[in-house]
Structures are given as C-alpha cells and as structure tokens.
A and B are shown apart, each in its own frame.
Chain A
Amino acid sequence: MQFFGGAEINPSPPAVTASGNNAHMMYIFNRNGVCLLYREWNRPLHTLNAQQDHKLMFGLLFSLKSLTAKMDPTSVEKVNLGVPQLPGQGCSFHSFRTNTYKLSFMETPSGIKIILVTHPRTGDLRESLKYIYNLYVEYVVKNPLYTPGTPIRYELFNAALDQYVRGLG
C-alpha cells in the first residue's frame, strides 16, 4: 500500500494515452461501505437496482481483498480468511479484468475506495485513480459544507471528474 506524500497534493493529470470514452462507471465508497458517489457514463446493462448494485460491488471488493490477503504467496504470516483488516494491511489488489470490463481499484489510508470500471483493454490506471483521489480531496474534503460520510453532490467535482474520465484512454 502506498501512502501519498504531502509534496504532490495536486500533480498534473497523468498522460492520456488515447482519446475516446472508455469508462463505464465509477464508485466511491467510504470505509463503512456507504456509497459516496456513483457516476455512470456508459452502462447498457443494469441487472439490479442501484442500492443492491452498490452493496454487491462493495461486497465483491471486500471479499476479493480478503482472498488476496490470504492467497499472498510471498508472506509467511497470514491472517485467517475473513478477519477484518485495516486499510493498507495485508496484500490487496489493484485491478481485475473480465472479457467485458476491467475494474481498477484503489484504497486510501483513510479507507476511501475508488473504483473505476472501463473497457477491458485499458492499461494500468493506478495513476489515474490517484489523480481522481486528488480531485476528491480538492473538491470534496476541502469543501467546508461537506459532512464526511454523506453522499457527494457537487457540480464542480462532477464536472472535473467527467472531464478527466472522458480523456482517459
């Protein structure tokens, strides 16, 4: 788990590799599993209602994290499967790919989870997720009217996010 130094609070956006809108949707969860933000750009298929969908997504990430923590072939001391772990503890994952989409995942030290679902052939998005986290810090956390743990409803943040994600290759 990487922690972000104070020196690069607002780095320039990572280089965009290609044009075109590859992103399907994005989620931001806090450490309690509350969905703070859900953005959708291109999602033809809805199998569940929104709330069920968010719950399932959080559950998937939670379980995949405990799976990777247990499966980690490089560490000798592993906790038992299902034991809750603090953010940054244990082996986590940064993305998975299916034949129809790629999900990139980042967890911050405070337990905020940022999930971006894109086209399966998208490259490594770890830097992009860090940039999105910086947008979150700048536009949401630094907003005095924002109460932590509540859904994010800020036009400026959404606009900045849309603009950035649209440029993602």
Chain B
Amino acid sequence: MAAVYSLYIINKSGGLIFYKDYGSAGRMDTNDSLRLASLWHSMHAISQQLSPVAGCTGIELLEADTFDLHCFQSLTGTKFFVVCQPGTQHMEILLKHIYELYTDYVLKNPFYEMEMPIRCELFDINLAQAVQKDRVVLLGR
C-alpha cells in the first residue's frame, strides 16, 4: 500500500541532481526543491553529530504529521529520499531499487558527468515503472 509523493536524489555535496514530483499539492519551484535538498543534507549530517552512540549514519526515516520521508545513503554519499504517505511500507526496497536503476542507467551512461543533474531518458522510463507499481493505490482514488 504505497503512495509516493516525490523523489529527490542529492549528490555527496548536497546538490540536488534529480527531483521528481508525483502529485503533491501545491507546486514547488526549482529553487525550493534545491533549498530543501541542501537543507536535508545538513540535517542528515547534524543528526550524526548528535548521536548518543558511535557509528551513526544519519536519518533513515522522518515521520512528519502528513508524510513520511525515507532516506537511503549510498556508500559514495549520494542520498536518495522519497516523500510518501504516512505509514507506507517497503520504501527501503523501493529506494534500493532506485539506487540500482541509478547505477545501471545513470552511472553506466558514458555521457553522464558525475555529480551533475541527471538527464537520462532510460532512467526516467524505468523509474516511472518502478514507482508506478507502488502508486496503483493512489491512482485509484
């Protein structure tokens, strides 16, 4: 039972390299999404500093009043995060799958420059399919 509102991918320095909206209310302009992405990057880093135990790797799940934010950080520091309906399950799997798509269709694309915004058609198509599977419920409303 999943409903994804939006997906962000940020590079290791906090710059937004991919943003896709799947139907959240109220449009966000490019500047807003860039700001949110870099703000998330800093909050992720600060949360590691505040850990009471050693070995913290940052926020994995943020539960807000109206949405959940699931974040996955790859070993290279690229962060993937989805905003979804509260209580949505299996988002870790979706994020890992998106990471797989990213390595297959973005990193293996010889025309892609590292850390730069993602403009790869094949990635878009496969991503749409991956998220679509999760969005059937939302579309049915």
Chain A positions within 8 Å of B, measured between CB atoms, are 1, 24-25, 42-45, 47-48, 53, 56-57, 59-60, 63-64, 66-68, 70-78, 81, 91-101, 103, 117
Contact = CB atoms under 8 A, between A and B. Distances in A.
B66 A73 contact: yes
Interface residues of B, number: 37
A77 B63 CA distance: 21
B129 interface: no
Majority SS at the chain B contact face: mixed
Given A47-B49, A93-B63, A100 B39 contact: no
Contacts, number: 125
Nearest to B48: A98
A154 to B, nearest CB: 24
A64 B69 CA distance: 12
A145 B55 CA distance: 42
Interface stretch (B9-17, B24-32, B96-104, B112-120): B24-32
B45 to A, nearest CB: 10
A98 B58 contact: yes
Interface of B: 5-6, 24-26, 28, 32, 35-36, 39-40, 42-43, 46-67, 69, 83
Contact of B51 (A71, A75, A100): A100
B46 A81 contact: no
Given A63-B39, A63-B43, A74-B67, A101 B51 contact: yes
Given A56-B49, A71-B69, A75-B26, A96 B61 contact: yes
A71 B55 CA distance: 28
B39 A45 contact: no
9 contacts: A45-B52, A45-B54, A70-B32, A71-B67, A72-B67, A73-B5, A95-B62, A98-B47, A100-B52
